[in-house]
Amino acid sequence: MFPFTFVKARDERAALAAGRDGGRYIAGGTTLVDLMRETVERPGTVVDITALPYRQIELRGDVLRLGALATMADVAATGIVKQQFPVLAQALDRSASAQLRNMATIGGNLMQRPRCLYFRDVTAGCNRRDPGSGCSAVEGHNRTHAVLGTSPACVATHPSDLAVALVALDAIVLLRSTEGDRRVAVQKFFLAPGSTPDREHDLRPGELITGVEVPRTAATRTSGYLKVRDRESYEFALASAAIALEIRAGVIRSARIAVGGMGTVPWRLPAVEAALIGRRPGPELFDKAAALAADGARPLSENAFKITLVQRTVARQLATVAEGAA
């Protein structure tokens, strides 16, 4: 680990000033500390923001507000979340391990870095870690890598389960800096690699995530998250599906669907949603709609199986959520 300066911010003003001067924010530290040990991350200043008051988990009217420092475990265990937004609780419960969920925060989860083995190997080419060094995964071992939203510069899969659920529910990320506040749709907060894979988020220098807002709709209560992985504990998704359906009078009135384990960012599926709306739920419809889940996919040498896998994952979760809505 390289030497760095540690600053404990006693209030928001101090935190924002330190971030403006180039400091890296840390709360649970479940990602940043590991990357610093591996010398993947080499911040000159680390700013502890655990004293800040961003820990709320509350429903105001039809908006769920999650503070950036609320832990994954606390959010997943909160009754309002489990009852009104089950897809969020399930996505969190299927993430990492119990010990990590007790420490990791909502803001930190959104900011976690790729789990690509080449990103974490400082001897390998990785344009996210070292722009211009190439992407070793393109011609290397790429079974777990992305097939959607890729570019010649990067094929790393986005790691967050929570982010997939938030994209499906049209959540908003709340940002603050010394310049003021911003609200960014979570789907636009994550940036596909293109030719600049080192830019992973729409986050300006010195900006701090203060929270996330999730609108409650008729579909959020009948929602769920399915994660398919190599093992049932402490493993990242090969394919996952966050689905929310509103079914009235035997007809699908609205559908919100996003998948994980497939893209360089959490991937919304508007074509699948459109194929469902206005129709009666059933296995034939679900299979037909799910067949669109991998449209535009560009498989690599080892991960073409993900195309069929995500189609089956979406179809299966559609059936599960629809059954719960009946």
241-281 pLDDT per residue, tens: 999 999 999 999 999 999 999 999 999 999 999 999 999 99
Question: Residue 241: inside a domain, yes or no?
Answer: yes
Question: Residue 103: inside a domain, yes or no?
Answer: no
Question: Residue 149: inside a domain, yes or no?
Answer: no
pLDDT band at 297 (very low <50, low <70, confident <90, very high): very high
Closest-CA residue to 78 (of 92, 97, 95, 96): 92
80-130 confidence digits (pLDDT tens):
999 999 999 999 999 999 999 999 999 999 999 999 999 999 999 999 999
Question: Under a CB-based contact definition with an 8 Å cutoff, are residues 289 and 276 in contact?
Answer: yes
74-92 confidence digits (pLDDT tens):
999 999 999 999 999 999 9
Report helix, strand or coil for 71.
strand
Which domain CATH number covers 13?
A: 3.30.43
Exposed, middle or buried by CB within 10 Å (0-12, 13-18, 19+), for 204?
exposed
Rounded Cα distance, 254 and 151, in Å? 32
Q: Which pLDDT belongs to residue 233?
A: 86
21-47 confidence digits (pLDDT tens):
999 999 999 999 999 999 999 999 999
- Single pTM value for the model: 0.97
193-237 confidence digits (pLDDT tens):
999 999 999 999 999 999 999 999 999 999 999 999 999 888 999
Average of per-residue pLDDT values in the chain: 97
Report helix, strand or coil for 317.
helix
- Amino acid letter, residue 250: G
Question: Residue 293: inside a domain, yes or no?
Answer: yes
Rounded Cα distance, 144 and 236, in Å? 9
Check whether 131 has a pLDDT greater than 80: yes
Which domain CATH number covers 313?
A: 3.30.390.50
Question: Residue 230: inside a domain, yes or no?
Answer: yes
Question: Under a CB-based contact definition with an 8 Å cutoff, are residues 205 and 224 in contact?
Answer: no
Strand partners, 239: 228
Check whether 1 has a pLDDT greater than 80: no
Question: Residue 306: inside a domain, yes or no?
Answer: yes
Q: What are the helix (H) ranges across 63-146?
A: 72-77, 79-84, 86-93, 98-103, 106-111
Host domain of residue 37: 5-48
Q: What are phi and psi of 189, to 5 degrees?
A: -70, -35
Rounded Cα distance, 227 and 102, in Å? 20
Rounded Cα distance, 263 and 270, in Å? 15
Question: Residue 144: inside a domain, yes or no?
Answer: no
Q: Which pLDDT belongs to residue 234?
A: 87
Question: Residue 249: inside a domain, yes or no?
Answer: yes
144-165 confidence digits (pLDDT tens):
999 999 999 999 999 999 999 9
Q: How many structural domains are present in the chain?
A: 2
Q: Which pLDDT belongs to residue 312?
A: 98
